[in-house]
């Protein structure tokens, strides 16, 4: 090889032979690594909360479902351990180190001192697993996933002769909220909690209010909605009243929405209201005074995720900002792509409604009656 010499001439430089490259792994190790990469999936905080809700529900899972639920919970647990180890939480926090140790003990089927003899963790099987989701494509721009529920039908709760809607909050679910602070993360500056746990406190880059899971305990608060169950109902198309899926319900693929408003539901309108079955919608109108005063109903072809509903904080003062809309006390709808989402303390998921067909109250009652007749025939056939 020729290169410039010290006086502008050229000099000849000899090339040294490069040592032969040795791969860091042999073929068997590479195949094993590839298999693990193919099995990997991103951590799904909502799926974990769903499975925890099933395990803690007042109605225990069916005996034949406990093994599958245990496998999923162990899979979630090991993903959390991996996240903590990759973030070196074990070195920085003694509490994290203790919890990682306990998680490993549960994974191996050992009892820890804090586990009672009858704890569910001690009885769960040892094989890790992952949730299996049934995919169903209906008329919309993306595939919607529905989560197979364990333990049979959703338990219905009643209070003073009225059914308590699935998404209604209960007094035992109230938890204290930590103060909001300024943080800097991968997406830039925003709000956070001093003891924030990203897999449960943050989603879609927004910070989320904390809420308990104790459906049926205490008294129902019909003025409030449980954050976790609202998110679950929106994500899996569960009825806001009974909690059962609304997919494959009725003659077509459209879902029914009921809003407490006076103007018809517009194309592309955003909402925090989950869908309903037609009989459940009629029940809601008949038993809920605000809905009796004013309501609108529509069939919707698809309802993709749009954003979140919450309180936006001032980036300078960290003071809550009023909703710029006509009702300042309402939660503000913030799009997932908006820069304000990192300054939002979210309470609910927001979807947009497309392919809207208005339904009158009389038409709704006719739909409900038809479904009751069909349901009665199915029950007699069973």
The runs of H, that is alpha helices, within 154-197 are: none
Confidence of residue 77 (pLDDT cuts 50, 70, 90): confident
Per-residue pLDDT, 46: 63
C-alpha dist (Å) from residue 312 to 194, 198, 351: 18, 19, 18
| Mean pLDDT, rounded, of the chain | 77
Query: Does residue 276 register a pLDDT over 70?
Result: yes
Confidence of residue 10 (pLDDT cuts 50, 70, 90): low
243 DSSP assignment? -
Nearest to 277 by CA among 306, 297, 260, 305: 297
Place of tokens 């951590």: 43
Query: Does residue 143 register a pLDDT over 70?
Result: no
Quick one: average pLDDT of 198-203?
83
Query: Does residue 18 register a pLDDT over 90?
Result: no
Share of the chain above pLDDT 90, in %: 41
The burial of 256, by beta-carbon neighbours within 10 Å (0-12 exposed, 13-18 middle, 19 or more buried), is given as buried
> In this structure, are residues 226 and 169 in contact, taking their beta carbons and an 8 Å threshold?
yes
Per-residue pLDDT, 117: 33
Q: Where are the domains of the chain?
A: 41-123, 153-381
Query: Does residue 187 register a pLDDT over 70?
Result: yes
């Amino acid at each position: 090889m020729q290169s410039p010499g010290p006086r502008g001439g050229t000099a000849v430089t000899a090339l040294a032979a490069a040592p032969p490259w040795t791969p860091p792994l042999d073929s068997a190790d590479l195949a094993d690594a590839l298999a693990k990469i193919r099995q990997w999936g991103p951590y799904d905080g909502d799926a974990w909360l769903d499975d925890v809700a099933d395990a803690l529900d007042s109605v225990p899972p069916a005996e034949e479902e406990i093994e599958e639920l245990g496998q999923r919970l162990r899979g979630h647990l090991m993903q959390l351990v991996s996240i903590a180890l990759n973030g070196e939480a074990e070195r920085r926090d003694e509490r994290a180190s203790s919890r990682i140790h306990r998680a490993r003990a549960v994974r191996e089927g050992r009892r820890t001192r804090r586990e009672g003899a009858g704890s569910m963790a001690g009885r769960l099987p040892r094989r890790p697993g992952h949730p299996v989701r049934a995919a169903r494509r209906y008329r919309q721009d993306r595939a919607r996933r529905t989560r197979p529920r364990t333990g049979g039908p959703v338990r219905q709760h009643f209070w003073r002769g009225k059914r308590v809607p699935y998404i209604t909050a209960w007094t035992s679910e109230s938890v204290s909220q930590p103060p909001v602070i300024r943080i800097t993360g991968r997406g830039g500056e925003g709000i956070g909690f001093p003891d924030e746990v990203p897999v449960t406190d943050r989603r879609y880059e927004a910070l989320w209010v904390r809420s308990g899971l104790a459906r049926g305990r205490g008294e129902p608060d019909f003025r409030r909605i449980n954050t976790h169950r609202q998110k679950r109902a929106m994500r899996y198309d569960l009825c806001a009243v009974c909690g059962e899926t609304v997919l494959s319900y009725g003659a077509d693929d459209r879902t029914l929405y009921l809003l407490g408003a006076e103007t018809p539901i517009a194309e592309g309108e955003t909402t925090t209201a989950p869908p309903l079955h037609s009989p459940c919608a009629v029940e809601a109108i008949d038993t809920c005074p605000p809905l009796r005063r004013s309501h609108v109903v529509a069939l919707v072809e698809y309802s993709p995720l749009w954003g979140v509903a919450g309180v936006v904080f001032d980036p300078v003062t960290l003071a809550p900002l009023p909703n710029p809309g006509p009702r300042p006390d309402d939660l503000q709808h913030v799009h997932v792509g908006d820069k304000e989402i990192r300054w939002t303390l979210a309470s609910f998921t927001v979807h947009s409604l497309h392919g809207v067909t208005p339904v009158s109250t009389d038409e709704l009652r006719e739909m409900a009656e038809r479904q009751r007749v069909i349901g009665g025939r199915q029950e007699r056939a069973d």
